[in-house]
Structure formats: C-alpha cells, structure tokens
Amino acid sequence: MRMGKRLLWGGLGWVLGGPIGGIIGFALATMNEQSNRDGSSNFIGGFRSSDYSARTKPGDFAVALLVLFAHVMKADRQMLKSELDYVRNFLGRQFPRQDVRDLMLLFRDILEQDYPLRDVCRQISRSMDHPSRLQLIHVLFGLSQADSNIHPQEIEIILVIAGYLNINQHDFDSIRAMFQRDNDADYKILEIDSGAGEDEIKRAYRKMASKYHPDKVAHLGPDLQKLAEEKFKAVNDAYQHIKQERNIR
C-alpha cells in the first residue's frame, strides 16, 4: 500500500460512521473487489477504529464534500464536464495524483447512488465546526459556477444543504453574493442593509473579517486555508467598495 493512500484512507475519521460511512463503505467495497481482480493492494484494511477522531481533517472534509458535490451536480439533471473538471482540480490541489484517481473513482460511485441528504448533512453538522461548514458552502458555489452559469436549481439545493448544516440565511446570502453580484452585493457580503450607517458598516466589516479569517480553517490544511482566503478577500473588497461609495474614512 502506498503511504499516501494509507494516510488518506486511514485518516478519514468520523466520515466512516453514520450515513456517509454507509455510502463510502459500499463504494470502497466495490473498489476493493476491483483492486483484488487487478492484483493491486487492498487498502480497505487500512481502516482501524483507533484512527477515528471527532476532529475534522482534510480527508474528512474532502470525502464529505464529494457527497455534497454529487447532489449539487445532479440538481439541474445535467452532468457537465466542466463540473467534473472542477471536482478533479479541487481534489488535485489537496492530494497526490494517484490519490485523486482513487477519490474520483469513489466520486463516480457516489454519483450513481441516491442517498438521504438530510441525514448526511446532519452527520456533517454534528462533526464539523461552523467555519468548516461555511467553507463547504463556498466550495459548492464554486462548483455551481464551474460552467459560468449558476442554475436556480443548484442554488435551491445549496440553500437546502445550508439549512441542514445549520448555516443561517444571512451567511448563505453573504457567500452567494460573492458569486452572484447585484447592486446590494457588497452589503449582503457584510450581512447588513444598504441603509446601514457608518458605525454599523465598520462593525460589520470587523465581524465578517473575523468570521471568514483563513486561520479559522487552518485545521483543514494549507490548500483549503488558501481557498478560504477568497472569502476573506471578498469581505475586504466589499468593505472598500462601500467606503469609496459612501466616502467613509
């Protein structure tokens, strides 16, 4: 077994329990049968209960995200190459090439299944902290935008996912405004009304800068922390636009 694969699959932690564990267990069993027929290593043996941890790890985040990716991709009843490329490229920034191949095989199996979204999200919500769940929503919007057209049905399913993950409407609208801009987008990003006063704007900026600070997801690994910088930058840009528009010093 490759060391990279052992670390990846052995470090999945909490995702092997609950509905996600059932989905992944079925897929891994299928992949393992194929591996045995091919004469390759059996990496399912890499799982041990002592490996599991309640803390979210990069592997946990990625596999949980694959389950949600599948639901968003199927929302508009289209399976686009641009979306598959987004998933592959996302995984490629987190894992070595050979591990990306294994995860894409797992993902294709997940795409063929019909699973209880609410139960999956509840498992994620119980085991994943709020900043990590916000990052999930941000990445899902990135997937939806992969074909340069965010479909209304994709927005609807991401909203459903956000609700199941205990992400409130203000946080959802803030992240959505980073991808779908309108005249009030900067205010939505800061989670305030367009009629907010100067002091309220400044307080909102400090609050959102803290909420979306990349250090909040440092435990997910450097690549996902770097991705989190997009939200942080969007908050700063929104604040600067409002300051310029309102002549705030």
Q: Is pLDDT above 60 for 121?
A: yes
Contact 123, 20 (CB under 8 A): yes
User: Does 191 fall in a domain?
Assistant: no
Establish if 188 belongs to a structural domain: no
- Is residue 1 one of the residues assigned to a domain? yes
Asked whether residue 135 is domain-assigned, the answer is: no
pTM over 0.75: yes
Segment holding 185, helix H or strand E = helix 185-189
Please indicate whether residue 145 or residue 49 has the higher confidence score (pLDDT).
145
- Collapsing DSSP to helix, strand or coil, 167 comes out as coil
Is residue 248 in a domain?
A: no
Is there a domain that residue 247 lies in?
no
The DSSP-derived string for 40-100 is ----GGG--GGG--SS--HHHHHHHHHHHHHHHHHHTT---HHHHHHHHHHHHTTS-HHHH
In a domain, 70, yes or no: yes
- The candidate with the shortest Cα–Cα distance to 171, out of 220, 142, 133, is 133
| pLDDT for the residue 77 | 80
Q: What is the mean pLDDT of residues 39-60?
A: 44
Domain count, the chain: 1
Residue 187 makes CB contacts below 8 A (sequence gap 6+) with 193, 194, 196, 238, 242
- The pLDDT value given to residue 33: 57
Both structure tokens of 131? 């900043």
Question: What does the mean pLDDT of the chain come to?
Answer: 81
Identify the domain containing residue 84 by its residue range: 1-128
DSSP string computed for 13-34? GGGGSHHHHHHHHHHHHHHHHH
| 80 — pLDDT class (breaks 50, 70, 90) | confident
